[in-house]
């Protein structure tokens, strides 16, 4: 573990290949119960380039009509989100030390062209709770900015098995994924390889 900036904790290679494969199996079951969907931007209605789903009590959704928010049910099927796998709860406890459990885990699935624009995670009521991010599959170029959009940003790769925690003064730092790095891809575990080349899991406490 290294604290690469105040409140930003980077765990390189936290999950070995066997642990990645086991987690991928769990996430594949989540996707089977809560199919991937495409969210749209709240102002323009433009589709996002990542496909996503959720697990936990709440799930993050977005559309032009109602904007960014958390809902208790899948926006397409209307069914409750599947439970969060126990291993994710264990990792939350191990890496964040936060006294309350996460309520939402966003499952973002990237293909070779997908990206995630620079943004803040501020749709939650509990902004004291950290954010935990886990990467599976292809490397990406991750960009980390400051707490204001115009602040200087730094970029570095995130690889399969890496974890990143944004906490304390870093909780509202802007961040995003510039692109998938095709020359240093690690294949997704077989359970998820049919869906894309990279999966990111983001655990959040909402209320």
Q: How far apart are CA 204 and CA 73, in angstroms?
A: 17
Q: How many residues does the chain have?
A: 207
pLDDT of residue 184: 65
Bridge partners, residue 199, by sequence: 109, 136
Q: What CATH number does the domain containing 56 carry?
A: 2.60.120.590
How much is the pLDDT for 57? 98
Rounded-to-10 torsion of CA 167, 173, 176, 181: -70
Residues of the chain with pLDDT under 70: 183-185
Domains contained in the chain, number: 1
The H or E element containing residue 106 is strand 104-110
Residues 6+ apart with CB under 8 A from 70: 58, 59, 60, 61, 103, 104, 123, 124, 206
pLDDT digits (tens, 9 = 90+) for 114-143: 999 999 999 999 999 999 999 999 999 999
Burial of 115 (0-12, 13-18, 19+ CB in 10 A): middle
Q: Which domain holds residue 187?
A: 2-204
């Amino acid at each position: 573990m290294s604290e690469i900036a105040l409140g930003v904790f980077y765990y390189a290679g936290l999950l070995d290949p066997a642990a990645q494969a086991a987690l991928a199996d769990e996430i594949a079951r989540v996707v089977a119960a809560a199919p991937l969907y495409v969210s749209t931007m709240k102002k323009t209605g433009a589709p996002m380039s990542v496909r996503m789903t959720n697990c936990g009590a709440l799930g993050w959704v977005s559309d032009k009509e109602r904007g960014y928010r958390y809902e208790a049910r899948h926006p397409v099927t209307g069914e409750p989100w599947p439970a969060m796998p126990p291993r994710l709860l264990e990792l939350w406890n191990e890496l964040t030390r936060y006294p309350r459990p996460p309520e939402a885990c966003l499952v973002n699935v990237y293909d070779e062209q997908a990206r995630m624009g620079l943004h803040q995670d501020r749709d939650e009521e509990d902004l004291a709770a950290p954010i935990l991010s886990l990467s599976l599959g292809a490397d990406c170029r991750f960009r980390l900015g400051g707490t204001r959009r115009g602040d200087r940003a730094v970029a570095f790769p995130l690889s399969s098995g890496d974890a990143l925690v944004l906490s304390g003064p870093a909780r509202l730092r802007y961040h995003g994924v510039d692109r998938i790095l095709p020359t240093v891809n690690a294949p997704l575990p077989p359970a998820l390889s049919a869906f894309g080349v990279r999966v990111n899991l983001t655990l959040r406490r909402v209320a």
